[in-house]
């Protein structure tokens, strides 16, 4: 019984880490070089149903249609750029998992570095302000003016006279 459980666990682990591919055997091209190109292109294209998966990983019917379309275009002799341009013309820029670096997508590409740079600048500015305030005050924020000290002595004297010991 222990051997069966151990064998079962080994099989689960082995098959659990095996990559799952959605490409069906009837989709595979006969030419290995063209199939490799098709797989590379499929990894760059977004499944319009799943949205965060490539068409290479998705089991959705639309992803299958897109995989077949990519293979048809490759079989027709299109270059990788022509296949991508065809799909972008048909489905829009959203079909690309990694958007192109263009004027329209400039904000998309630069937003993260700008936000990170702004955060670093904000932290630096805050640190600079705090260290500047401490240096200007001489580090002693509890110092009272002479008028405040006189008023404090007067209040303490009045308070101790009213309180019986």
How many whole angstroms separate alpha carbon 150 and alpha carbon 143? 13
Tokens representing 122 are: 């904000």
Q: Which CATH number does the domain housing residue 40 bear?
A: 1.10.8.640
- The answer to whether residue 104 sits within a structural domain is no
Nearest one of 45, 5, 8 to 23, comparing CA atoms: 45
Q: Are residues 69 and 128 in the same domain?
A: no
Residue 127 belongs to what domain range? 118-162
Q: Are residues 24 and 65 in the same domain?
A: yes
Give 116-131 as a DSSP string: HHHHHHHHHHHHHHHH
- The answer to whether residue 122 sits within a structural domain is yes
- Report field, pTM of the whole predicted structure over 0.85: no
Q: Are residues 63 and 125 in the same domain?
A: no
- The answer to whether residue 100 sits within a structural domain is no
- The answer to whether residue 77 sits within a structural domain is yes
- The answer to whether residue 113 sits within a structural domain is no
Would you tell me the crossing angle of helices 61-75 and 80-91 to the nearest 10 degrees? 140
25-72 residue pLDDT tens: 667 777 888 889 999 999 989 888 887 888 888 888 888 899 999 999
- Compute CA 106 distance to the chain's CA centroid, rounded to the nearest angstrom: 17
Greatest alpha-carbon span in the chain: 105
- The answer to whether residue 46 sits within a structural domain is yes
> 62-70: long-range contacts at Cβ-Cβ below 8 A with a sequence spacing of 24 or more?
63/22, 64/22, 64/24, 64/27, 66/42, 66/95, 67/22, 67/23, 67/27, 67/38, 67/42, 68/27, 70/38, 70/41, 70/42, 70/45
Q: Are residues 90 and 130 in the same domain?
A: no
Give 2-40 as a DSSP string: HHHHHHHHHHHHHHHSSPP----GGG--SSHHHHHHHHH
How many whole angstroms separate alpha carbon 163 and alpha carbon 64? 90
**Predicted confidence pLDDT, tens digits, the chain (165 residues):** 667 656 666 655 555 544 445 666 667 777 888 889 999 999 989 888 887 888 888 888 888 899 999 999 999 999 999 999 999 999 888 888 887 777 777 777 788 898 999 999 999 999 988 887 666 655 555 678 899 999 999 999 887 766 655
User: Angle 84-20-64 (CA atoms, 0-180°, nearest 5)?
Assistant: 40
């Amino acid at each position: 019984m222990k051997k069966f459980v151990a064998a079962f666990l080994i099989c689960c682990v082995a098959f659990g880490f095996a990559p799952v591919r959605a490409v069906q055997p009837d989709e595979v091209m006969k030419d290995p070089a063209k199939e490799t190109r098709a797989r590379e292109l499929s990894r760059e294209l977004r499944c319009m149903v799943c949205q965060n998966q490539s068409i290479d990983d998705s089991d959705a019917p639309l992803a299958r249609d897109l995989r077949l379309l990519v293979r048809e275009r490759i079989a027709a002799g299109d270059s990788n750029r022509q296949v991508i341009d065809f799909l972008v013309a048909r489905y829009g820029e959203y079909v690309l998992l990694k958007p192109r670096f263009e004027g329209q997508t400039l904000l998309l590409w630069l937003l993260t570095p700008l936000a990170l740079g702004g955060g670093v600048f904000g932290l630096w500015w805050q640190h600079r302000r705090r260290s500047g305030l401490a240096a200007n005050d001489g580090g002693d924020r509890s110092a009272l003016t002479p008028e405040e000290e006189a008023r404090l002595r007067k209040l303490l004297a009045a308070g101790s006279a009213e309180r019986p010991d």
